[in-house]
Structures are given as structure tokens and as C-alpha cells.
Amino acid sequence: LLENSEELIRLGLKPTEIIDGYNLATQKILEEFLPSVVVDEVKDLTNVSEIRKPIRTALMSKQYGNEDFLADLVIKAALSVYNRESGHFNVDNVRVCKILGCGIESSQVINGMIFKKAVEGDVKSMKNAKVVCYTCPVDVQATETKGTVLIKTAEELKNFSKGEENVLEAQIKAIADSGAKVIVSGGKYGDLALHYINKFGMMAVRLQSKFDLRRLCQTVGATALTKLIAPTAEELGSIDAAFIDEIGGTSVVVFEQDSKSTKISTIVIRGSTDNLMDDIERAMNDGLNTFKVLTRDGRLVAGAGACEIELARKITDYAETLPGLEQYAVGKFAEALQSLPVIIAQNGGINQQDILSLLLSSHQEGRHADGVDIGSDSAAVQNSLTNLILDLYLTKYWGVKYASQVTSTILQVDQIICSKPAGGPKPPQQQGHWDQD
């Protein structure tokens, strides 16, 4: 849009006239033309075959060839945390855990959370257990101020250390008596505390990340406690299974929750290199955000550049009906819309002029769903609807709206004032202990 506006300015048009033309084109697209190019709509978000089409398209741009397998993972993870009653979906409720080794086909979805950690104590697994979460260390609590203790006899010294042990044992016993079987802490575990935790048959897990601890509390329904005290029934969470496992030589702790009651699910990504897994994670985020958009608006438009070419054709016809100078700006807006299929053709190594002429003639003949066929050796078009290449309506809507707004804002700028540091010699470096005065 900006490059095209530069051409118009060189031809003698004023920036205000270009802005008016761009605003006219944007308004016409958003209110009339874009709703008219909708080709499909997702009405039931629990229907896997319906939501697969746009999610598959989003994944295909980053993981071509693996889109079907990855789409199944994204759909399974998204539906497990999707609130069907309120229609609410939070992307952060689907976590990603990357474990090196094996291939992409070994990736899986777990209802609950998984951490690349080992348990602290001797107990390795628990089923149908109550969970208590602490943000403080599980150890003897140190006093805030220093104290002096006067010990006169050996018996007093013996009782002093024993009293500390008895206090810690009473604290751990109170936690065990509350029904908790799994202790999760954001701080360290003391050796003495671990001894008593093992004695009472509880499982101990340490999570150093406060964000992981917060999400685990959300998963199990627990309240994070700041002091080492016995939890009440309301502060305890519950988990179907907590156990230690080994995936590809990596020790992990799994908190598994029943699929009906889970609030967080985790996609375990496997891959041969870290770069590959990073690419898969980015593709997964695209797929999950696609599902989130579908919860707001399920309308779909033809992909592979078909939607942009059809909009460009309609805008070109609209520009010819305008009497004023705005018609040139509206025409340039149509040219800007054609840049997307041109870029797709460039990425596919296809001659951009050939594909552009093919698309324009195809849409002029009424085949409105025809887009770029990057699988062909030469310039060719394909029906995006039959090949299930579908884009989100809202993505196109906000893309056009924001692009037009940014262009208009930049064109309104008359002067840019830049401040530079003053010239001359730099002041001498003073000693470090001197203040500014």
C-alpha cells in the first residue's frame, strides 16, 4: 500500500486524496465485498471434520507434509480444554513440552501436565491422590532475626536439636493427616523434611518456575500456600495419576487428569533436533490460535490467494465507478491485494506474471475459489475449496483493516524531527565514587 501510494504522490496526488481513496476501498471491502466471498462456515466446534479444514491450512504453511498428523494433535488438545457451555477457549491452557529424540510421529497429547523433572523423594507414583502446593521451601523455617540461645548442659543441647526435628515432623504429619499424598513446592526440600515425607509415604515434586506451579494449581484445582502449614479441604487439589516416566532417555513427571475434568492439556513434541521441534511448536501455536478464532467467528474464505484476487477484481470494478481522484487510490489498493498471491508464487518458484494473469482470467470467468497451485512445476491454478485450503474470515478482516489504518497514519505524517546528541568533546570520565554534584 505504501509503495503504491508513493507512485501516486509522484504523479501529483495529495496524501489526503490517497487516504480518502484507501478508506473508501477499506470500507467497501469490510462491509460488502469480504462477506460476499465467504465459501464455508464452521458451525459445530465439536465436529472434528469441520474444524480440521482451517487448522490443517494453518499448519500446512509451516509443516508441509505433516499437517494431517499435527492437526489431529491440535484438535485433541484444544477440545479437551474447550468449555462447551461458555464457548471460551484459552490458548495458554494447552502447553507444549519438547523432548529430544525419535520422530514427529511419536508426539502425543496428555490430559494434564508434564515436566522434565525427577521426583525428590522415594515415592515414584500416586493414583487418585490429593495434591498440596507450596510456594515456600519445605524445610525448617529460619527466623527473620538472629537469636541467642544459652545452653548450659549436654542434655539441653540434645533437646534443642531434637525439638527442631519434632516441630518439622509435626508439620509434615499434619500435612499427611489432611489427606495430601503429593507435595509440590516452588522451593527446595530439606534432607530432614524429605526423610519425614518418605516416612509418611508422600510424593515430593519441586517446580522452580512459578508459572509452572500456577498452571499446575489450575490443573489440579489447588490453592498455592505461602507457608508450610496443613491445608484445608478447600485448598487441596486432586489428580487421577502422578508418576515418574522416561521418554527418550529424559526423566519426566506426569500429572494426568481425567479428560472430562481437565483444565490444561500438554502436547509432547518429539523430534530429532531442537530446531525441528521449535518449528513444530510455532506451527502448533498457529493451529491453536486458529481454533480460538473459530470460537469467535466460524466463517471461512478460499485460501491460496483466491480471496485476495477476488477482492482485487471487485475493488477494480468499484474504482471505475468513482468520478474523483480517489479512483486512482482505490485502484492501487486493488494492486496491493494482488501482492499476496504473487508472494505465494515467488515462494513456490513460479513466474509471478504468468500466475497473476491466470488467476485474473479464471476469476473473471466466475471460478472465484481458484488460487495458486504451488505443487505444479509451472504456473497453474487450483480450486481452494475442493482442495480444502481455507483461511479464516476474521484474519482477512483485521488484516485489511489494520494495514489500511497503518498506511493512513504514515501518510498523515508531514515532518519527522530527530534529536541527536550535541557535538563537541565528551566530558572527562570522573572517578566512580563521585556523585553528579
pLDDT along the chain (437 residues), means of 10: 88 87 89 86 84 88 85 89 81 86 86 84 86 85 71 78 77 87 87 86 87 85 86 87 84 79 82 89 90 88 87 88 85 89 84 84 84 79 84 90 91 81 72 60
Q: Give yes or no for a contact between 184 and 197, defined as CB atoms under 8 angstroms apart.
A: no
- What pLDDT, on the 0 to 100 scale, is given for residue 406? 92
- What pLDDT, on the 0 to 100 scale, is given for residue 430? 67
- What pLDDT, on the 0 to 100 scale, is given for residue 405? 92
Report pTM.
0.79
Q: Give yes or no for a contact between 108 and 265, defined as CB atoms under 8 angstroms apart.
A: no
Please state, in angstroms and rounded to a whole number, the distance separating the CA atoms of residues 88 and 315: 36
Residue 431 C-alpha cell reads as: 572517578
Residue range(s) of every CATH 1.10.560.10 domain in the chain: 1-40+302-412
For 182-212, letters b (16+ CB in 10 Å) and e give bbbbbeebeebbbebbbebebbbbbbeeeeb
β-strands 390-392, 299-302: how paired?
Answer: antiparallel
Q: Which residues pair with 133 in a beta bridge?
A: 184, 224
- Our CA dihedral for 405, 407, 411, 417, rounded to 10 degrees, sits at 90
Please state, in angstroms and rounded to a whole number, the distance separating the CA atoms of residues 386 and 379: 19
Nearest to 314 by CA among 124, 31, 122, 80: 31
HEC sequence for the chain:
CHHHHHHHHHHCCCHHHHHHHHHHHHHHHHHHHHHHCEEEECCCCCCHHHHHHHHHHHHHCCCCCCHHHHHHHHHHHHHHHCCCCCCCCCHHHEEEEEEEECCHHHCEEEEEEEECCCCCCCCCEEEEEEEEEECCCECCCCCCCCCCCCCCCHHHHHHHHHHHHHHHHHHHHHHHHCCEEEEEECCCECHHHHHHHHHCCCEEEECCCHHHHHHHHHHHCCCEECCCCCCCCCCCEEEEEEEEEEECCEEEEEEECCCCCCCCEEEEEEECCHHHHHHHHHHHHHHHHHHHHHHHCCEEEECCCHHHHHHHHHHHHHHCCCCCCHHHHHHHHHHHHCHHHHHHHHHCCCCHHHHHHHHHHHHHCCCCCEEECCCCCCCCEEECCCCCCEEEHHHHHHHHHHHHHHHHHHHCCCCCCCCCCCCCCCCCCCCCCCCCC
Please report the sign of the dihedral spanned by the C-alpha atoms of residue 42, residue 45, residue 46, residue 48: positive
Q: Which residues have a Cβ under 8 Å from the Cβ of 294 and sit 6 or more positions away? A: 42, 45, 51, 54, 392
Please state, in angstroms and rounded to a whole number, the distance separating the CA atoms of residues 431 and 437: 13
Residue range(s) of every CATH 3.50.7.10 domain in the chain: 112-261
- What pLDDT, on the 0 to 100 scale, is given for residue 403? 92
- What pLDDT, on the 0 to 100 scale, is given for residue 431? 66
Other CB atoms closer than 10 Å to residue 57's CB: what's the count?
24
Pick the CATH number of 112-261 from 3.30.43.10, 3.50.7.10, 2.30.30.40, 3.30.930.10: 3.50.7.10
Architecture of domain 1-40+302-412: Orthogonal Bundle (1.10)
